[in-house]
Amino acid sequence: MMTSLPPPAPAPLSWLGGALLLLLLASSGSGECDFPAEWTGRWFRAGMGQEGPVVITGGSISKTGICIEHGKASRFLVKEEQYNCHKCMVISMKHPNVIQYKESYCDNTKDLRKLCEAITGDAMLYSMFRLGAEPVTCPFRGPLTFTYSKGYEVCSSPVSQVDSCSEDYRLLFRHQACPDVPASESLLEELVCLGWWKEGSNHYLVGKVDHIFAKSDEDRYRCFIYDHPRHQGNTQTWSLAQSADATCQGLISAHEGSKTMTLTKMTHSGHKCRFPSWLAEHRHWHTLDNSQSYYVYHKNTYLRISNGTAVPENVETRGQTDIRLTLPASSTTTTTDAAPTDHRTHHHRDQDVVTIIAHVTVGCKSGYQCLQLYRRDMRVVQVRSGELAYSADEACSPHYWSPTSANLTTLVAVGGPPGPCGPFGRYTVAHSVLPCAGEAPTYTHMTVGCNSEARNTLQLKSSCPEESVYEFHCNGQWESEGVTYVVASPMSRASGGPRRVCFAYSVVSPPPSHSHSRPHTLTITARHDTCIPRQHDAHIAINATLAGQCVQSASSVSRAGGSRGVMGGKAPLFLLLPFLLLLLHLHQQHRHATSPL
């Protein structure tokens, strides 16, 4: 009879396997986690003092603890290693530059739900702001007026003002002091917007406010709450409240805060004032010396000027030197007739000169400016600008605007084909006593528009320091007060050489007694910076005499040949030679056909 053997006993776990199992159980029970990757970075938090910034990386928040468990929504179980306790943190990223959180007391329990339930509605709300954050476009733009209160009466007279800066993320608050209103003061505050978002019916804004009393980031970081704009007729109104410090505590509504403001913007219905249409025919313009670029935006209501050839949107290249012109709806425009010239007969003559009142912003400085725009050619515009005035009504008054002394800027459109030059012809330059004195070129001849039917080049020939020919493509020409102006670009130039030159021609007529025997003389100046005929400081100043028209040399050769023709009398025989060869060939064919076999 066979008996069954008992089953073998299980082999005991090795000490290494047991340790691994315990480690696995411990790690699964701890539930360690990472914070969202977009939170990674260095953050400012009010009250940090000498501790430095808060650093979030992986599952760690410096000076706070490490992530143990990620619960529902934005709840995290965080362990404070210093005190060996746990707390619930409810963390929310309001904007890529803003994090806010509430936290429970630190306790020995690891029950996340229980810890989170201990957070009361009035618990402290902490705010953190990303250090080195990229600014964002502010939610409203100037010019605005505002009244304000710091817990006392409202300061409303004189009214305060908000101006936009050249950059969309900066605003300038000009506080006025009101008599008999406590805590009101004359103060400039510059706001850099770092982030804004909406919760319910309220809108929130975070920024850095700089003023003469700000010594540290504790003084600069502020939070704002504002409501949706209210419309009444042509007026828009916002209520805005500001926090007392960088903790952003105490902001309940747009009507309650350390400082409350009421912003007002006047809107205008009907036809919106615009820059002339011919300015928008070319979106991009350069000044004559290429030191500034002009860009036309927003359906021809907004002109932006930046240094060099920088694109205005490129903040790093543009730097802080940027001008913005915005036409207020109340801007007035006037037009004058201009006598047409042959090369511009297709232009609208009633819009060649336009006077505009524009709102101008340079950095955070702004005001109103009287501008006069001249259409000189399809690709050339000149702008005469007055001084900045505080109000639009004063901009074109004699105190801020004097046409004879106002700055004149010449703009040339980027791109497009060359235009005609003029006055056409071949000119001889009068020589000086010492033609080769110094290193400056001594010019001997000038040719205008003689290269082809396009007549769009200008040549200057020099004899020393060496024989050279300087060629220019003409961009446009016009006549004003008896002076002909031509804007031209050199076909080749040395590094750093001028990109454009403005030539000015003034005709010096001979005395009446010599009007038939002496040809007309041109006084010619050329400048790299502006278009004026002034001679003493011009880059080029010469006197030239008309030696002949562009076609004269060809016609004189024809007349010199006379009846002898182009080949000097041998042309008739040359023209008959093919005919004689043909007759000889036919004669030989006839002889072969009639010869006997």
Both tokens assigned to 103: 């936290």
**Percent of all residues in the chain with a pLDDT value above 70, rounded to a whole number:** 75
Both tokens assigned to 12: 């005991």
Report the alpha-carbon distance of residue 548 to residue 551 in Å, rounded: 8
> Which candidate, 139, 263, 154, 232, places its Cα nearest to that of 194?
139
User: What pTM does this model have?
Assistant: 0.68
Instruction: Considering only residues 272 and 415, tell me which one the structure prediction assigns the higher pLDDT.
Output: 415
Report the alpha-carbon distance of residue 406 to residue 83 in Å, rounded: 72
Q: How far is CA 250 from CA 122, 146, 288, 425, in A?
A: 11, 22, 55, 80
For 221-275, give the DSSP string.
EEEEEE-PPEEETTEEEEEEEE-SSTT-TT--BTTBSSEEEEEEEE---SSPP--
Q: How far is CA 385 from CA 392, 406, 407, 411, 499, in A?
A: 14, 6, 6, 13, 24
For 38-55, give the DSSP string.
GG-EEEEETT-GGG--EE
Tens of pLDDT, residue by residue over 209-267, are 999 999 999 999 999 999 988 988 889 999 999 999 999 988 889 999 999 999 999 76
Report the alpha-carbon distance of residue 303 to residue 301 in Å, rounded: 7
- Return the domain boundaries, the chain: 30-130, 144-266, 277-339+348-413, 425-552
Of 26-30, 53-57, 110-114, 181-185, the least confident: 26-30
φ/ψ (deg, to 5) at 559: -70, -35
Report the alpha-carbon distance of residue 89 to residue 105 in Å, rounded: 10
Instruction: Report the SS3 class of residue 564.
Output: helix
pLDDT of residue 306: 82
Report the alpha-carbon distance of residue 418 to residue 489 in Å, rounded: 9
Instruction: Considering only residues 576 and 433, tell me which one the structure prediction assigns the higher pLDDT.
Output: 433
Enter the DSSP assignment of 111. Answer: -
Of 87-101, 245-259, 505-519, the least confident: 505-519
Average pLDDT over residues 410-431: 84
φ/ψ (deg, to 5) at 577: -60, -45
For 486-518, give the DSSP string.
EEEEESS--TT--S-EEEEEEEEPPPGGGTTTS
pLDDT of residue 501: 92
Report the alpha-carbon distance of residue 176 to residue 274 in Å, rounded: 32
Tens of pLDDT, residue by residue over 4-50, are 444 444 444 444 444 433 333 333 334 479 999 999 999 999 988 77
Report the alpha-carbon distance of residue 486 to residue 287 in Å, rounded: 15
Burial 138-166 (b: 16+ CB within 10 A, else e): bbbebbbbbbbbbeeeebbeeebbbbbbb
Average pLDDT over residues 390-406: 88
Does 158 sit behind a cis peptide bond, omega within 30 degrees of 0 on the bond before it?
Answer: yes
At CA 551, angle to CA 548 and CA 555, rounded to 5?
100
pLDDT of residue 90: 97
